[in-house]
Structure 1
Amino acid sequence: MIDLPTGYTPCDQTPSVETYLRLRRIAGLSPKTGAGAEIGLPRTLIAVQILQDDQPVGMGRVVGDGALFVQVVDIAVDPAHQGRGLGKAIMARLMERMRTELPSGTYVSLLADGEAHRLYAQYGFTLTAPASVGMALKLP
């Protein structure tokens, strides 16, 4: 079970399109379209939100094929609630669920922006370079 500050509760539910777009925007993540969110969010394998007074203030998701390869994505916390360990709580809950819901040997990856790799290292993630490097392409 994850530890949260008083007044916050975990919710193992995929965020709504509106919540997803809002949290990404205010947390400074790259923008996504509503149309894309409507297609992608129902395909979430594992999700967690952090609520305060029934309002989502943080989220994280796991996407992928569910057995061979998955990726941790969309870790976002409302800036008004940052610095309270909510990002750690989101990661802790995602890790709990991955360990119980995904088969042994599943390859879990993520892309860490800036210094976020320090957070993810606390959960066993290691830098892959120079053996491999992340690459990306955004379709026009």
Structure 2
Amino acid sequence: MTDATDQLVRTPPTLEDYLHLRAASGLTPKTAVQGEGALAGSWCWSVVRHEERAVAMGRVIGDGGWYFHIADMATLPEHQGRGLGRRVLTDLLAQIEEVAPDGPYVTLMADAPGRPLYASTGFVETAPTSLGMRLER
């Protein structure tokens, strides 16, 4: 259950909060330079603040026309299980719906802990039609 002091905002977290949320929630840690690029280069954000601290976040990268990719879905462990991830995801999808032309293509990479949430909001696996790949160096 969300706390009365939880506030959903559509502004990016601070760089410090972004880096902390990624690392503390189990996502791959990033450098400050990488974080600055993520903060500046995102199409939109949804962040839950608790007592002025970012405790959950997600962002969308994309072209604003037809392609939108949800990234950095993260909730601090001590705030998990309260529906904050669902709140962030629902808000990101609402932001896409508010401005995107009909038929947007919305993707995400689903780590195991998030799959039930994503499936419950309508996301489906794309395999075998397409399979996510990444460049490894």
Q: Report the TM range for the smaller structure's normalisation.
A: over 0.9
* Deviations 1:98-139 (CA, angstroms, capped at 9, x unpaired): 11022212211100001422211122111111111111124x
Q: 1:54 corresponds to which residue?
A: 52
- 2:119 is equivalent to residue 108 of structure 1: no
Q: How many residues align?
A: 137
Picking from 113, 118, 121, the partner of 1:123 is 121
Question: Secondary structure of 1:49's partner?
Answer: strand
Question: Secondary structure of 1:42's partner?
Answer: helix
Q: TM-score, normalised on structure 2?
A: 0.92
Question: Secondary structure of 1:62's partner?
Answer: strand
Q: Note the residue ranges of structure 2 that are not aligned, 5 or more in a row.
A: none
CA distance in 1, matches of 2:98, 2:115: 24
Query: Retained in 2: the 8 A contact 1:4–1:89?
Result: no
Correspondence 1:65-76 to 2 at 5 A: 65-76=63-74
Q: CA RMSD in A?
A: 1.5
CA distance in 2, matches of 1:92, 1:5: 18
Query: Retained in 1: the 8 A contact 2:17–2:53?
Result: no
Q: 1:77 corresponds to which residue?
A: 75
Q: 1:41 corresponds to which residue?
A: 39
Which amino acid in the other structure matches residue 125 of structure 2?
L
CA distance in 1, matches of 2:73, 2:99: 19
Q: Name segments (4+ residues, structure 1) moved above 6 Å.
A: none
Q: TM-score, normalised on structure 1?
A: 0.91
CA distance in 1, matches of 2:2, 2:91: 11
Which amino acid in the other structure matches residue 102 of structure 1?
A
CA distance in 2, matches of 1:40, 1:7: 27
Q: Note the residue ranges of structure 1 that are not aligned, 5 or more in a row.
A: none
